Amino acid sequence: MNLRKDRSKLPPQNRGLNAITGAMSLLVVLLIVQMWLLSATLDSYLANRPEAAVPATVISAVAFACCFGLYLFVERIDRQVRGRSSHE
């Protein structure tokens, strides 16, 4: 008995949910990295070692850009799924 589900046969809303869940997981990972960066930079700044501030800000900017990209991806998926749902 084949218990595997064919993902293409899932309703579009479920596929959209899967995409959003995946994007959220990536977002959470990026956020944890950003939180660690912020606490480490603050600690080194208070220890009068501000050298870490520039690379940490660059990495944080890249992480934020990735988060924003994921958000745009989620918005696009959502629009597509809603469009298909309304046609069906």
Partner 1 sequence: MTPEEASRPLWQDEFSVHSADERYVTRRQFTKFLVLTSLAMFVGQVWILVKSWFARQPEALPHQVVARKGEIEVGEVKLFTYPTAQDHCIMVRTAPDVYVAYSQKCTHLSCAVYYSKESNRLLCPCHNGFFSVDDGSVLAGPPPRSLPKVLIAVRGDELVATGIREA
List the x/- string, 37-66, binding to partner 1 by CB under 8 A. xx--xxx-xxxx-x--xx-xx--xx-xx--
DSSP helix/strand/coil, 11: coil
Amino acid identity, position 85: S
Q: Find out whether 19 and 77 touch, Cβ atoms under 8 Å.
A: yes
Q: Are 12 and 84 within 8 A, CB to CB? A: yes
Q: Which residues bind partner 1 (CB under 8 A)?
A: 13, 16-17, 20-21, 23-24, 27-28, 30-31, 34-35, 37-38, 41-43, 45-48, 50, 53-54, 56-57, 60-61, 63-64, 67-68, 70-71, 74, 78
